[in-house]
Structure 1
Amino acid sequence: MLGFGLAIEPQLWALVFVMVRIGAAFIAAPVFGAVSIPLPVRISLSGAIGVLVLAVHPVTPPSAVFGLATFMSVAAEALIGLSIGFVLQIAFAAPMIASEVIGTSMGIGFASAIDPQNGRSTPALGQFLSVLMTLLFLSVNGHLVLVDMLVRSYAVLPPGGSWLAADRLKDIAFFGGYTFAAGLMLALPVGFLLLCLNLIVGMISRAAPSLNLFAVGLPASLAVGVVALALAMPAMGDYMLVIVQEGLDAAQRLVFG
């Protein structure tokens, strides 16, 4: 009996309880949380990983389904899963910040498209950088690292009221500051060249006031921006790998301390 006269198989109840943390992490994490992934796929994947967790770690769910202790335990599991996925999602926001800086300087900030990760309208350049970072995340087996982290988190943070400490929640907030710094560093090569171009155009406008800046400055900014992106893409790709690694390290520090 698990409350209100309901009977359920203990193994099934344990699997559902384990799936809460895994499913919450997949909702907030990049790649797994993309709107293009159907909900049945996420549920099936959470159940498959939950079976592995039950085979490795002895998880004892609350005895009553409808009880205050059960609701608190489920909330704690959801908080842990959402925190793990949210840290990685924060790291994936760095290319969007860089695209805003570069796109505004190039004059293509108005160009937008639907982001396949979240289903919202984002700058076209930001979508390109986001897809590139997703491919780099998969190339370094970041999705496998996330799954391994979720499985091992049950040994460090056992279910049943294992709330995250205040210092770990503070680390999540401070990691958001790193995202802004990383986004600016990612946009630095192209942004610096566009800043130099704007200074040159400004000096030309002072020397020749009759010159139409919109007829000269906008095409020049677009051309210089495209060339600078092509030249700086290898360095930007390397730094995206650093951002991915920092996100994975932050998630591991969140779980393992």
Structure 2
Amino acid sequence: MLESINFNQLPGFLLVFIRVTSFFVTLPVFSYRNVPTKHKVGFSFFLALIMYFTIPMPEISVDSNYLMLLFKEAAVGIAVGLLAYIILGAIQIAGGFIDFQMGFAIANVIDPQTGAQSPLIGQYLYMITLLFILAVNGHHLMIDGVFYSYELIPIDHFLPLQDEGWIYFIIDSFNQMFIIAFLMAIPIVGCLFLVDIALGIIARTVPQLNVFVVGLPLKIFVGLSVLVIAMVFYVMLIRNLFETMLTTMRGFMQILGG
């Protein structure tokens, strides 16, 4: 296979390698810290080598525009992967809403995949989301998205950044993320709100009862109980969230491809 490489097309292979590597810098599942960097680079190299022999490769010369093409490929991979990661971040936002109502807001944990602090319930739901993505071969669909990005964004074309459509698309994607996070948090947050109302009524009718001592464990018990009951509902939302992430990736690449 290596004997068939046309070394005049090595600049084109470098463009492919830059885009694939940039995807894996921000793409969910592949970009996490517990995946060794040398494995990411090696996987990106061999995947780019496969794409080199699969996608139609135009003749690309090293000229004044080649450096701009390198930056364009890096920007495409990072932007699309980051947008997918932001959509998946709705899980963390929903967990933050739930933790605030349950009293876990001050008990954040370190996410081993990103190294940042994350809410307890948010981390729990996020791990379930990752397991769901791996169970339905979602990582294969992400790799397919990387492959088909060359049909939507040709390797030798520049991005139409003068069009403001991509800005509105990102804003709309943020709106979808918060709507999904709100839908995921509303069952538990709503039940805990009713618990707060009940505790307020008890505090007014039975002043001798210290609701601050009783309220926190009661809210934790109610919150965890509703979380167990609503897991089927959450799995459906996680599926919709994953479909939204793939649709958002494809729509954003279509806009960048003009």
Is 16-25 or 166-175 further displaced after alignment? 166-175
- Offset at 1:140? 2.3
2:118 counterpart (89, 108, 122): 122
Against the structure 1 CA distance between its residues 124 and 61, is the aligned structure 2 distance closer, same or farther, given a 3 Å change threshold? farther
1:47-86 deviation digits (Å, cap 9, x = unpaired): 111112111213246422xx54122111111121112212
TM-score after normalising by structure 2: 0.89
Q: Which residue of 1 aligns with 2:206?
A: 208
Alignment gaps of 5+ in structure 1: 1-7
Work out the CA distance in 2 between the residues paired with 1:19 and 1:98.
36
Amino acid at match of 1:86: L
1:181-204 deviation digits (Å, cap 9, x = unpaired): 111100111111111101111111
Alignment gaps of 5+ in structure 2: 1-5
Against the structure 1 CA distance between its residues 169 and 57, is the aligned structure 2 distance closer, same or farther, given a 3 Å change threshold? farther
Tell me how many residue pairs correspond in the alignment.
248
1:151 counterpart (104, 128, 147): 147
Amino acid at match of 2:99: G
Amino acid at match of 1:184: F
> Residues 84-233 of structure 1: matches in 2 within 5 Å?
84-163=80-159, 165=161, 166-233=164-231
Is 2:71 the counterpart of 1:70?
no
1:180-231 deviation digits (Å, cap 9, x = unpaired): 1111100111111111101111111122234212111111111111111111
Amino acid at match of 2:131: L
- What is the RMSD computed on CA atoms of the aligned residues? 1.8
Residues 15 and 47, structure 1, Cα contact 8 Å, conserved in 2: no
Amino acid at match of 2:140: L
Residues 103 and 125, structure 1, Cα contact 8 Å, conserved in 2: yes
TM-score after normalising by structure 1: 0.90
2:252 counterpart (242, 251, 254): 254
Work out the CA distance in 2 between the residues paired with 1:70 and 1:211.
73
Work out the CA distance in 1 between the residues paired with 2:119 and 2:234.
18
